[in-house]
Chain A
Amino acid sequence: MKDRANAGQPKQDKSGFGAALRLSSEFISAILVGAGLGYFLDRLAGTTPWGMIILLLLGFVAGVINVLRSSGQVANPYDQGWAQGKKEKATPPPSVPDDLYDDEDDDR
């Protein structure tokens, strides 16, 4: 029954705890991936420690980008803009009428 009660929730979570976990997981996961990628690259290519140093730093960069994107501080190229950007460039997929892209459309 709870899903019905909460179905009208605003899109982003209002609790600070949720936001903290969301942003920190975005940040930390990018660093972990950078470090892991660097570690395995070093083991494969024998370039210890340079791969890990560089990729760990790039992991920090990617983490900052992740956080900025998920908090909406910079435009997220992934979750928006494909509808607007597509229209100028050409070829929206032919089978789909254009107005289906409209966010305001309630479909009911």
Chain B
Amino acid sequence: MSNDPIHQFHLNKLIPLEIGGVDISFTNSSLFMVVTVAATAGFLIWATSGRGLIPTRLQSLAEMSYEFVASMLRDGAGSEGMKFFPFVFSLFMFVLVANLFGMFPYFFTVTSHIIVTFALAMLVIGTVVFYGFYKNGLGFLKLFVPDGVPGLLVPLVVLIEVISFLSRPISLSVRLFANMLAGHITLKVFAGFVASLSAMGAIGIGGAILPLAMTVGLTALEFLVAFLQAYVFAVLTCMYLNDALHPSH
């Protein structure tokens, strides 16, 4: 049924592939990931190809996105964090462009699947843990022991802090996924009201104006959410990288 709000998240195998019993088919999700990466890289390469001292509009947009992520990273993790700039910038641009591609009708929203966002979040937390231990050795574990806790309470507090730390990749991924999923379903449901109401004759068409107005408003909200969630994802990445760089808080 065309009004099914879940149908848009359906995975279709475009090129079925199976290696060693593992299904690695090229799906519509993979296609849109490739398109996202290609569009992001293509845009940045094309926009900066002029290398003008006085930037054109496109070059200025590329420079602004650079400045935006760079200042976010400096605020979040200090200037040592800048060694992670390529990582954070790629994450931010990937999530942002994937979210914005999802706003096109009939396009697939890559970030509306939890396995995609969870993989991104695990990449972040994995980087934090590996770099934290690589840079600070066992001193990284100081992250779990806040200052000024009475000795008796330390085991309990450490356990709570560990659970709190382990919950980060989950909350990071669930937040992005839930926002995109809920937003797209809401949009589809309200748009579906327009179609089914206007099939009911003159009164229905009059009534359909209300959900239509709602759909217009929600579309604007979804653009905001698409940007905001990419921003939140990147900001939290910076915050977690800060823990890896300076674990003793």
Residues of A at under 8 Å CB distance from B?
1-4, 6-7, 9, 11, 13, 15, 18, 21-22, 25-26, 28-30, 32-34, 37, 55, 58-59, 61-63, 65-66, 77-79, 81-83, 85-86, 93, 96, 100-101, 103, 107-108
Q: Assess the B79–A100 pair: CB atoms within 8 A.
A: yes
The answer to whether B163 and A28 have CB atoms under 8 Å apart is no
Q: A6-B228, A26-B167 are in contact. List 6 more A-B contacts (CB 8 A).
A: A3-B68, A9-B231, A21-B179, A77-B146, A83-B78, A107-B70
A6 → B minimal CB distance (Å): 5
Residue of B96, B159, B226 with most partner-chain A CB within 10 A: B159
B221 touches A15 (CB 8 A): yes
A107 to B166, CA, bound (A): 34
- 14 A–B contacts from the bound complex (CB under 8 Å): A6-B228, A9-B227, A18-B225, A25-B170, A25-B175, A29-B168, A33-B166, A58-B156, A58-B163, A62-B161, A78-B249, A79-B239, A82-B78, A96-B79
Closest to B186 in A: A17
Chain B, residues 65-83, CB within 8 Å of chain A (1/0): the string is 1011011001110111000
B249 touches which of A22, A33, A82, A93 (Cβ 8 Å):
A82
Interfacial residues, chain B to chain A (CB-CB below 8 A)? 61, 64-65, 67-68, 70-71, 74-76, 78-80, 96, 100, 146, 156, 159-161, 163-164, 166-168, 170-171, 174-175, 178-179, 182, 221, 223-228, 231-232, 235, 239, 242-243, 246, 249
Quick one: given A29-B170, A79-B76, A83-B78, are A58 and B159 in contact (CB under 8 Å)?
yes
Known: A78-B239, A79-B239, A100-B78. A18 touches B228 (CB 8 A): yes
List of 3 A-B pairs having minimum Cβ-Cβ separation, nearest first = A29-B170, A29-B171, A30-B167
Q: Chain A residues with Cβ under 8 A from B71's Cβ?
A: 107
| A38: nearest chain-B partner, CB-CB | B163
Asked if residues A86 and B246 are in contact (CB atoms below 8 Å), the reply is yes
